[in-house]
A and B are shown apart, each in its own frame.
Chain A
């Protein structure tokens, strides 16, 4: 068992460098997906903003994190980070659910219209066949 203090100065710097590297790669990955049009425009903007915010937060955000944590009554600063990430991800999922709901409503309407058109086409064909044998 190693009774290390909760926050070591060097540990913070290493941690910060690590998080920054991760968010940099994340940003590049998002850019690549957008460039290849794997993500459409509406979502690409969203993800570029998210990647930028992550990058900025990991570069300059740590002092704020250390100040924010006690304000929220949080002893371990990283927990404040998790909390914010958790809230952010929850909101993102909620938004995606809204998008999915809209899409499924649209696909339902499309399915109905296609089916009705096909049925009408079949009916008309039957009528035409009857008229011209």
Chain B
């Protein structure tokens, strides 16, 4: 069931609905621990984490997302990738002081995210976190997603909606499609991954260097996990609660869903045919 489109006036309202992850350890701030609160997560140092926010026609939600990022992650740098939006996305993003990279035309999520990786190159970040501009990914959980990468225990961390402790309201068909794809990825990697379509991810510097050179165009999420896993990068999943988008339209409609379900399995099979490649 898609939620009815509702106007959201403040970022607080936007994120208070079903999202339980609490702010990532701002010092001295008393927070009520939510179900996913991990008191062990330390706030990273400044300059360690770059948050990449890809946005395509997200003028209604980009400001809320950025406000949340600034509130929850004052230690992080962020860059907005405006993927050729035809609405006021760039205008809405400007007041936050984060650099806004405006692509001259729409490249699709793959090309936009890769622009973020290219932006990160040579700036010394230990982790790059992808947080979609549509407000589905809770900025309060960014520190948790980045933590294993910063600790050096994982190269890729996926914020998973379907792990115990994660949550997401999703239509039946989409949930089923996601499950099928996750099974496929799991089979290809010979290990269990539960949410391979989630775009809420943290990548290590080595992975970012690799992906800046080679990243799929369309529906990149499941495919990238297979190619990174085969290269020997360590993939971890942590539970995250997300909520469906409330403003704007998902880029994945019915026709696109069908295309998605055909393209991704094919892409995974093709990935398996390629040489594994060396790590980093």
Contact = CB atoms under 8 A, between A and B. Distances in A.
Q: Do A and B come from one complex?
A: yes
Interface of A: 108, 111-116, 118-119, 122-123
Interface string B97-140: 00111111101000100110011000000000000000000000
A123 B115 contact: no
Nearest to B117: A112
Interface residues of B, number: 16
A114 B102 CA distance: 9
A113 B119 CA distance: 9
B101 A115 contact: yes
Nearest to B114: A112
Interface in B217-264: 217
B115 A115 contact: yes
A54 B73 CA distance: 67
B101 A111 contact: no
6 contacts: A111-B107, A112-B115, A115-B104, A118-B101, A118-B102, A119-B101
A123 B115 CA distance: 17
By Cβ-Cβ distance, the 6 closest A-B pairs, closest first, are A119-B101, A115-B103, A112-B115, A115-B101, A119-B99, A108-B111
B111 A111 contact: yes
Contacts of A111: 103-105, 107, 111
Contacts, number: 37
A122 B93 CA distance: 14
A114 B111 contact: no
A18 to B, nearest CB: 44
Contacts of B111: 108, 111-112
A112 B119 CA distance: 9
Given A112-B114, A112-B115, A112-B118, A119 B103 contact: no
B118 A116 contact: yes
A119 B114 contact: no
A15 to B, nearest CB: 44
Nearest to B82: A115
A116 B111 CA distance: 13
B102 A115 contact: yes
B119 A116 contact: yes
A111 B84 CA distance: 10
Given A108-B107, A111-B107, A112-B111, A119 B118 contact: no
A93 B278 CA distance: 34
A122 to B, nearest CB: 8
A116 B101 CA distance: 6
Nearest to B79: A119
Nearest to B112: A112
Nearest to B115: A112
Contacts of A122: 99-100
Interface string B63-106: 00000000000000001010000000000000000011111110
Contacts of B101: 115-116, 118-119
Nearest to A120: B99
B62 to A, nearest CB: 16
Contacts of B115: 112, 115-116
Given A111-B111, A112-B111, 14 more contacts: A108-B107, A111-B103, A111-B107, A112-B115, A112-B118, A114-B104, A115-B81, A115-B103, A115-B115, A116-B115, A118-B102, A119-B79, A119-B100, A122-B100
Contacts of B119: 116, 119
A114 to B, nearest CB: 6
Contacts of B103: 111-112, 115
A90 to B, nearest CB: 20
A28 to B, nearest CB: 38
A119 B100 CA distance: 6
Contact of B102 (A108, A119, A123): A119
B86 to A, nearest CB: 15
A51 B105 CA distance: 37
